[in-house]
Every structure is written in C-alpha cells, then in structure tokens.
C-alpha cells in the first residue's frame, strides 16, 4: 500500500504538505501542487479512508434508511436511493444502506461509531418513533417526508397537499363538478403516513373552495379492490366525471374497471393521478399526472445535509417541492 509519506518523499515535500495540497485547506504553490499531483498519479496513491476518518473525524459517508413495508412503491424507493447516491458522490461522499428493520438501534450504531457523518431517513411517519433519537443524535439528519411535529428537524418532500389541490384545480378548470379521490390502502392512513393524509387534505380543501362535490375512497393495492371502488363510486355518485388516483398499482386496473363499466376515459370520465411518470405513461390511456420528483428530493436532501455538515447556520427546516402537473390524454373538459 502506498501512503502519504511515500508520496511526500517522492515529491520532495513533507506529508503535511501533501495533505494540504489534497484538501486545499492551506495555500500551496502551483509548482509544488503540480509535483505532488504527479507523484500521486505515478504512485497510484489513495488515501486510506479509515485513517482519514480517524484523523479528521469525518467519514465522508452518509446513511440512507430505506423503507421495507407494504404499500409503498418499490421503484420510487429505488429512484430516491439512486439520486441520493449520485448527489452524495458529487460531494465526495458515499452512502451506507440501512434497512428500516434495523430501526433506532441501527441509526444509533452508525452515528455513535462515527461510521457516518449524517443520515437521511425515508418514509417518515407522522408520529415516527425515530424522531426523538434523530433530534438527540450528534450528527445532522434530513427526513424525506414530514412528521406531525417537524420542529427541530430538517424535512424535504413533495408538497402533497398542493399536489392534491392541483389535481382538483385542474379538474375544476375543465368544468368538472363531481369528483372522487381513490387513495392509498387503508393501512397507509392507519399508520399515519403523512403524505397520504396531506393529499386528502389538499383534495378536500380545493374541492370545497371550488364548490365541487367530492368524496374520498381508500383502496387496497389489488385489481379486485379497484373494481369494487369503481363500482361503488358509480353507484353512489352517478354524476361523477373526475377522479384523482393516489395509488400506483391500482391506476391501470381502475381505468380498466371504469371502461368495462361503460365509462370511457377521458370521454366520460377524466382521470388524474399522483404517481411516477412511468406509471402514468404505461397505462392504455396515458394519464395526466403529478410525479414525485424523486431526483430533486434526493438531491435536495443531500444538499441540505452538506450545508449542515458545512456548518451552515440557517438551513431551512421545511422544504416543500411544488407539484408539477403533466397533462396527458386522460383528462378533458366536462362533456
């Protein structure tokens, strides 16, 4: 193994000079820097991560806690993970993968052993058990998602309330008067995952504001459940012309169900969804939708952490990303 003293000897300087040339923490003459860089290249030097971590008390590793539970859309989780890793690399950091199963002990372990400098936690629930721990930990963290009491924590996510509103505004603007929300599985509401409830809030608020008649229907992630909800909607609200779907796996089956019940989309029924673009594009009728901006959220989370690690004083506690609605073929003016 080639170490910093080897490089120093080869370049005719002291080890500390090599270190400063690498970190830029002190000025080094252009000429010396060049010589050092040449030596590094020639010898194939790589600083030892452990030694660096010990001496600098910085590991340059971030922890990412990913959820494992039912009712969450796996590809979206993966997208978050990838964007976090990519963003972290841009800041010369790596990412340690933790499963939610590890729970609070896992968080404490990687933080207390100084394995990681900071943490990113996904799938935060309204009353998440990890919150007190995250507040107490000596390393900074960022949550993807909003708990009920975000004070003292840094959170980032799509503004799901605004997303719910935006869907309604879109339908209202097209003249629809009776609309329904087909939501996530009941257990998602039960365990109080913030974003699902916030969609409902936005949906309801915007419907009221616009004087629309609206109703909300949780739905299991199965085709049969979709069919049931479709039938129920038509039975209870025959004047229905607009639907908002917040439940990825059910989007396609739901449209199928409506069509087989005699409603054409978008001719008789306009459909919008909150879901990844791939899901919205792969249905038989491409669906007007609001995507979860996984790349921005992941990148944003990392940027926030970097600012905190950099000692920034005022990092915003709440970062809500504005929803963007992409119009596709599934919505049209009320007939």
Binding site for DNA (CB under 7 A): 1, 3-5, 12-20, 22-23, 25-29, 31-33, 45-48, 51-52, 54-57
Distances from the Cα of 61 to the Cα of 8, 55, 100, 242, 301, angstroms:
27, 15, 18, 47, 14
CB-CB neighbours of 227 under 10 Å:
18
Binding segment (CB under 8 A) for a copy of itself, from list 54-62, 198-206, 211-219, 304-312? 54-62
> DSSP letter at 46?
-
Q: In this complex, which beta carbon is closest to a copy of itself, that of residue 40 or of residue 244?
A: 40
- Least distance to a copy of itself from the beta carbon of 223, Å? 7
Q: In this complex, which beta carbon is closest to DNA, that of residue 59 or of residue 319?
A: 59
Q: CA torsion, points 306, 104, 298, 59, in degrees to nearest 10?
A: 40
Q: In this complex, which beta carbon is closest to DNA, that of residue 1 or of residue 151?
A: 1
x/- mask, a copy of itself, residues 192-231, rule CB under 8 A, reads: ------------------------------xx--------
Burial of 172 (0-12, 13-18, 19+ CB in 10 A): buried
Region of 128 (left: φ > 0; alpha: ψ -120 to 50; beta: rest) is beta
Q: Is the dihedral angle over the CA atoms 328, 293, 146, 144 positive or is it negative? A: positive
Of 16, 68, 236, 267, the residue at the interface with a copy of itself (CB under 8 A) is: 68
Q: Which does 333 bind (CB under 5 to 8 A by kind): a copy of itself, DNA, none?
A: none
Region of 24 (left: φ > 0; alpha: ψ -120 to 50; beta: rest) is left
Please list every residue from 270 through 309 that binds a copy of itself, using CB under 8 A: 282, 284
Q: In this complex, which beta carbon is closest to a copy of itself, that of residue 169 or of residue 187?
A: 187
Q: In this complex, which beta carbon is closest to DNA, that of residue 24 or of residue 152?
A: 24
Region of 192 (left: φ > 0; alpha: ψ -120 to 50; beta: rest) is left
* DSSP β-ladder status, 118-121 and 61-66: parallel
Helix (H), strand (E) at residue 274: strand 270-274
Q: Which does 23 bind (CB under 5 to 8 A by kind): DNA, a copy of itself, none?
A: DNA
Q: In this complex, which beta carbon is closest to a copy of itself, that of residue 142 or of residue 200?
A: 142
Q: Which does 312 bind (CB under 5 to 8 A by kind): DNA, a copy of itself, none?
A: none
Helix (H), strand (E) at residue 214: strand 213-217
- Least distance to DNA from the beta carbon of 309, Å? 12
Q: In this complex, which beta carbon is closest to a copy of itself, that of residue 150 or of residue 223?
A: 223
Chain contacts with a copy of itself (rule: CB under 8 A)? 44, 46-54, 57, 59, 61, 64, 68, 74-75, 77-78, 81-82, 85-86, 89, 94-99, 101-102, 109-110, 112-115, 222-223, 282, 284
């Amino acid at each position: 193994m080639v170490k910093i003293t080897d490089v120093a000897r080869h370049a005719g300087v002291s080890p500390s000079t090599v270190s400063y040339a690498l970190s830029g923490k002190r000025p080094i003459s252009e000429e010396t820097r060049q010589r050092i860089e040449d030596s590094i290249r020639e010898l194939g030097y790589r600083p030892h991560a452990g030694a660096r971590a010990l001496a600098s008390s910085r590991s340059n590793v971030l922890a990412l806690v990913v959820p494992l539970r039912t009712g969450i859309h796996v590809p979206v989780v993966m997208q978050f993970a990838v964007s976090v890793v990519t963003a972290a690399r841009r800041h010369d950091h790596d990412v340690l993968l933790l499963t939610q199963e590890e729970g609070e002990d896992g968080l404490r372990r990687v933080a207390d052993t100084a394995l990681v400098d900071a943490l990113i936690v996904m799938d935060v629930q309204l009353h998440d058990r990890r919150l007190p721990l995250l507040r107490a930990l000596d390393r900074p963290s960022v949550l993807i998602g909003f708990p009920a009491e975000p004070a003292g924590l840094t959170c980032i996510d799509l503004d799901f309330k605004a997303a719910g509103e935006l869907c309604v505004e879109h339908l209202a603007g097209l003249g629809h008067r009776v609309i329904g929300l087909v939501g996530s599985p009941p257990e998602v509401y039960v365990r109080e995952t913030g974003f699902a409830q916030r969609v409902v809030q936005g949906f309801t608020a915007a419907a009221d504001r616009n004087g629309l008649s609206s109703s909300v229907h949780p739905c299991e992630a199965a085709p049969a459940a979709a069919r049931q909800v479709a039938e129920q909607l038509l039975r209870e609200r025959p004047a229905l012309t607009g639907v908002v779907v917040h439940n990825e796996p059910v989007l396609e089956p739901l449209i199928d169900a409506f069509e087989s019940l005699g409603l054409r989309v978008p001719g008789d029924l306009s459909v919008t969804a909150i879901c990844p673009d791939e899901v919205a594009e792969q249905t038989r009728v491409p669906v007007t939708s609001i995507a979860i901006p996984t790349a921005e959220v992941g990148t944003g989370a990392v940027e926030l952490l970097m600012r905190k690690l950099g000692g920034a004083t005022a990092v915003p506690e709440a970062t809500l990303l504005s929803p963007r609605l992409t119009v596709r073929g599934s919505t049209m003016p009320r007939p």
